[in-house]
Amino acid sequence: MPFAQTENLNIAAFDRMPSPEEITARVPLTDKAAQVVLEGRQTLQAILDRKDPRVFVVVGPCSIHDPVAGLDYARRLKKLADEVSDTLVLVMRVYFEKPRTSTGWKGYINDPHMDDSFRIDEGMEKARRFLLDVNEAGLPAGTEALDPIAPQYYGDLIAWTAIGARTSESQTHREMASGLSTPVGFKNGTDGSLEAAVNGILSASSPHSFLGINGEGQSSIIRTRGNPYGHVVLRGGGGRPNYDTVSVSLAEKALVKAKLPANIVIDCSHANSWKNPDYQPLVMRDVAHQIREGNRSIVGLMIESNIEAGNQPIPANLSELRYGCSVTDACVDWNTTEEMIRNTRDILREALAQRSAA
């Protein structure tokens, strides 16, 4: 008598996914893009090492859903980056994966056609091509690492990585972060606690061995060296923001207690702005004044920004989508973005010169 089936009872299909090497061969890294990636990473490392007094700003859409509008945004941001480069280092926020509390659109890689067809194979190639275009435009890119396999497909085009509030406590993501080639920001928990982020940085700084895939798509034991450039991202939580001077001081003390560098990035969005984009400029101004008044631990900022303000639901007829408007979290518009960044540069220009001299 044959045994009853005990495995894959809830699996509908196994569709073949192209390997990282196949996707990379279709969208190869160019010399110019490689230079932008490497220079971006080196600059961020220098900021975290306190060899560069500037502040970095990860700024861009909550998520990428339209590569045409996304590249339009990138070209605008590149001009602004050149304008403020004496004080600020701009990194474009390029998020393809969206963690969902329950259900919803999971992002450009998971469902690039936004029609529940879930062509992940197409989404991965399109995402890599978009990242290549951003780097070719001269901008380093930052993203959130959600799927532990995805970095094999496009990690060579990323300069900065975030581990989100929902995953900073995850052992899988800490192991992945230990092998990433970029500086990695661990966000505090959704309840506002710092413990998961601090422990995440400590864990990711150590070598790990875990299951993953190699460039050929084969199951592999991944053995990492550990990532020395972990840092904390304060994004608020538990019903309150944590960008104020008291919260920043508590974060500094937690990092020092853990014998970690006191490197802090402030996310101007999420719980720090009560998910209201209109408050992001106020948060950024407050943080800039903290730096001007002598704070030395705040090394970066994050902004959710798009061409148009607010957000929109995904319509049944995708031709009705508004150009340059978020389909996930609400964002500030381009004019507000320019104003925020220029104002921050004006506030910080002299303060960062003093930082450099100290």
pLDDT tens track for 77-130: 999 999 999 999 999 999 998 776 556 899 999 999 999 999 999 999 999 999
Tokens of 74: 């990138």
Residue 2 lies in a domain: no
Residue whose structure tokens are 């500030």? 332
Asked whether residue 15 is domain-assigned, the answer is no
Please give the angle made by the CA atoms of 341, 347 and 350, to the nearest 5 degrees: 125
Q: What is the pTM of this model?
A: 0.97
In-domain check, residue 333: yes
In a domain, 14, yes or no: no
- 156: pLDDT confidence band, cut at 50, 70 and 90? very high
Categorize the per-residue pLDDT at 354 as very low, low, confident or very high, splitting at 50, 70 and 90.
Answer: confident
Residue 270 in this model has a pLDDT that exceeds 80: yes
Please report how the helices 195-204 and 171-179 are oriented relative to each other, as an axis angle in degrees rounded to 10: 40
Domain that holds residue 151: 20-357
The answer as to whether 222 is a domain residue is yes
- Give a yes or no: residue 7 inside a domain: no
Residue 166 lies in a domain: yes
pLDDT, the chain, mean: 96
Q: Please check the confidence at residue 211 and state whether its pLDDT lies above 90.
A: yes
**CA-closest candidate to residue 198, choices 222, 225, 226, 234:** 234
Count Cβ atoms below 10 Å from residue 332 Cβ, excluding itself: 27
> Is residue 10 included in any domain, yes or no?
no
Whichever domain contains 226, its CATH number is 3.20.20.70
Task: Classify the C-alpha dihedral 94-99-101-105 as positive or negative.
Answer: positive
Per-residue pLDDT of 161-170, as tens digits, reads 999 999 999 9
CA 77 to chain centre: 16
- Say which DSSP state 273 is in: G
What ranges in 16-119 are assigned the alpha helix state H? 20-26, 31-48, 67-83
What the block records as the tokens of 39 is 């220079």
- 4: pLDDT strictly greater than 90: no
pLDDT of 101 reads 56
Q: Residue 113 in contact with residue 48, Cβ under 8 Å? A: no
pLDDT the model gives residue 98: 75
How many CA atoms are closer than 13 Å to the CA of 264, on its beta-carbon side? 29
Question: What confidence score (pLDDT) does residue 352 get?
Answer: 84
Q: What are phi and psi of 221, to 5 degrees?
A: -90, 115
Q: What percent of the chain has pLDDT over 70?
A: 97
**Per-residue pLDDT reduced to its tens digit, 282-334:** 999 999 999 999 999 999 999 999 999 999 999 999 999 999 999 999 999 99
pLDDT score recorded for residue 3: 73
Backbone angles phi, psi at 297, to 5 degrees: -90, -25
Q: Structurally, how many domains does the chain consist of?
A: 1
**pLDDT at residue number 104:** 81
Average pLDDT over residues 62-78: 98
Q: What is the mean pLDDT of residues 51-57?
A: 97
pLDDT given at position 36: 98
Angle 74-129-149 from CA coordinates, rounded to 5° = 110
